[in-house]
Amino acid sequence: MPLLFITGGVRSGKSHFAEKAATRYFQNESLVAKRLIYIASGVAMDSEMAQRILRHQLDRQAQDITWHTIEAPYQIELAFNGLSDGDVVLWDCVTTWLTNAFYEGFESGTPCVERPGCLDKKLQALKEAVLTLLDKRVTLFVVSNELFDEPPYTSEEVELYRQMLGQLHQWFVSVAHEAYEINYGIVKKWK
């Protein structure tokens, strides 16, 4: 089934676009669509993020349709493995999940980014779970942030994050049926 990749700048309208597209797809496929699912990777670590999460929740509640929400800040593959044929799924977002993956284990002393092979294992598990979904009758909308217009950072960790995110974006686009970029509320279909 289709995978649609949606990226764009921060507060560009990409989540709104993805929610509307997933809702339309769900309604148009009502004979085969079972559930409309929102997989959330955000963690409210500060008041700004808590407000953004609340705004997204209120946006979904304002629609005349029921969203089933799955919180998946870390092991996204477990959320994907629990999906069934006919599900229409919106995952928001890759950048938040990757940040969580980088720093998972920080509270116990050693974040994943500092453990050899940890991030590679997480990325491999993600890719395998996505490819499994492509063999099922699951429609997946994937949202991510575009962070590549800024100059390189002096922090090796930030540059590693951007490199991994860029590679992940390229992989998603390679397996996606459609790819969109949203900037300033303007939608550009690339694939």
User: How many structural domains compose the chain?
Assistant: 1
146, two tokens: 């575009």
The residue whose two tokens read 């063999």 is 135
pLDDT in tens, 63-93: 667 888 888 888 899 999 989 888 999 999 8
Does the pTM of the predicted model rise above 0.75? yes
Q: What is the pLDDT of residue 29?
A: 72
What is the model's pLDDT at position 182?
93
**Which residue would you say has higher pLDDT here, 128 or 150?**
128
Q: Which residue has the higher pLDDT, 108 or 141?
A: 141
Mean pLDDT of 45-51: 57
**Dist. CA 86–CA 177, nearest whole Å:** 17
φ/ψ of residue 139, rounded to 5? -100, 125
pLDDT band at residue 137 using 50, 70 and 90 as cut-offs? confident
Q: What is the pLDDT of residue 43?
A: 65
CATH number for the domain harbouring residue 25: 3.40.50.300
More confident residue, 174 or 149: 174
- Residue span of the structural domain in which 61 resides: 3-189
* C-alpha distance from residue 172 to each of 91, 139, 165, 175 (Å): 13, 14, 10, 5
Nearest to residue 98, comparing CAs of 117, 112, 81?
A: 112
Give the number of other CB atoms < 10 A from CB of residue 87. 21
Alpha carbon of 106 to those of 46, 47, 98: distances in Å? 17, 20, 14
